[in-house]
Amino acid sequence: MSDHKPGFFTRWFCSTNHKDIGTLYIIFSIIAGIIGGGFSVMMRLELQEPGVQFILDAAGNPNGQLWNTLITAHGLIMVFFVVMPGLIGGFGNWFVPLMIGAPDMAFPRLNNISFWLLVPAFLLLLGSALVGAPMFHGSLQGIWDVFGHGVGTGWTVYPPLSSALGHPDLGVDMAIFSLHLAGASSIL
């Protein structure tokens, strides 16, 4: 009698084992934390001295929209893609079945789908920071032009910045849909 061990793809992409899915949540949370922390480092570098050092547009003028985009991306990533998936998804998947003596979660395939909904939600949120960038119009002049036009509503997404008046492009819609996907992921 041989011991069945699933292959790499089956184990990590099609898993129904609560420990594997919990590990995926924790790894995802760490990766999202590095990206969100990178946004925080950019903001801290800007704040280390008075005046505007880094957050400039291509003409060298202060770019307040880029600052708002960094604040928004950092806040949403840290709350919805680091803390919640890491604590609830990661440690919840790992420890709850062990603590109650269950062999696995009640709906293991749904548990797997809930993790894999989180990945497109995160990519959609990162994409919302790029909406309206000049690189899509052929006038990209610097790296800050890439991120300087994204969703800059703050992590609370309050109007008037989240309205059509504050952001007339699809960036806010992408960010809100991203949060809907992340919310669906957390309740499955």
Digit-coded pLDDT (tens) for 38-68 = 999 999 998 999 988 888 777 778 888 888 8
Assess whether pLDDT exceeds 70 at residue 139.
no
pLDDT at 181: 97
pLDDT at 142: 54
Domains of the chain by residue range: 16-187
Cα end-to-end distance, the chain, whole Å = 36
Q: What is the mean pLDDT of the chain?
A: 87
**Coil, strand or helix: which one is 97?**
helix
Pairwise pLDDT comparison (131 vs 97), residue with the higher score: 97
pLDDT at 137: 47
Decide: 179 and 162 in contact? Cβ < 8 Å.
no
Rounded CA gap, 68 and 74, in Å?
A: 10
Question: In the chain, how many H helices and how many E strands?
Answer: 8, 0
Residue 133 pLDDT grade (very low, low, confident, very high; cuts 50, 70, 90): low
Decide: 94 and 19 in contact? Cβ < 8 Å.
yes
Determine what percent of the chain is predicted with pLDDT higher than 90. 53
Rounded CA gap, 146 and 66, in Å?
A: 9
Nearest to 167 by CA among 111, 115, 119, 129: 129
149-187: per-residue pLDDT in tens? 788 898 898 888 888 878 777 888 899 999 999 999 999
Assess whether pLDDT exceeds 50 at residue 100.
yes
Quote the pTM value. Answer: 0.87
DSSP state of 4: P
Pairwise pLDDT comparison (145 vs 90), residue with the higher score: 90
Assess whether pLDDT exceeds 80 at residue 143.
no
Assess whether pLDDT exceeds 80 at residue 101.
yes
